[in-house]
Amino acid sequence: MKRKWMFTFILLIVGFMVAVQYNTVQQPEERDTRDLWAIRNELAKERKLHSELLTEVRELDKTLGKYNSSEGENAGRALADTLHGLRQQAGMIDQSGPGILIDVVPSEESMAFGTPLHEVSPELLTRFVNDVNRFKGIDMEIDGKRVTALSAIRDINGETTVNGLPVSLPPFQIKILSADLGSSEKLYNFLQSSSILDDFYLDDFVLEISQPETNVTINGRIDKFENRFLKELPKEG
């Protein structure tokens, strides 16, 4: 009797394993159905990201090398240079360079029909920023508010805000700096053919984009960052 139960138990296990294997064969994992060009594009994006990370690593190694080879006054200068670079990345200092000016104004149709003036929605501004951020090495200002990777565009009490500061009703201006004049021209051409123009028009706004200029100035952030994690070490006696 005992052998009979053991034999039955073994058959149950074997049957369960066969059923699982059959189910796996009948229902394979979802296959990648993308075509060759889609895979190439994905690979190109990953290579670009890899290149950017390598560039950042080289810059950090270079900075570390400065600290290791510096003494006294030179070490202080290296630290000051690093601090200046970080403040620049955080958008805390004014900057000038080649760029374009974009005036956000109400559309002529909305004014002709007497449509009440309203704010640009946070969603539309965010879509615009994401479109522009396809270009690397840019700095942006929206209605006098500096936009960085840490900036928040959201609705606060019914007002569209950037970094917690309200954005004016149109008309207002957007400034975008590029690394050089050629990059500004590429951005200008991209925006001229971008669907973002239609998105603004559907919301009763028009983007008037200037020709690239050689000298555009944008302001640094006026709000201060909240330091929640870094602590100053006590000075050695």
pLDDT in tens, 93-139: 788 999 999 999 999 988 888 888 899 999 999 999 999 998 988 99
Q: How would you label 137-166 residue by residue, b for 16+ Cβ within 10 Å and e otherwise?
A: ebbbbbbebbbeeebebeeeeeebbbbebe
68 residue type, one letter: N
pLDDT at 53: 74
Confirm whether pTM is higher than 0.75. Answer: no
Output the CATH code of domain 96-218: 3.30.70.1880
Q: What is the 3-state secondary structure (H, E, C) of 186-204?
A: HHHHHHHCCCHHHHHHHCC
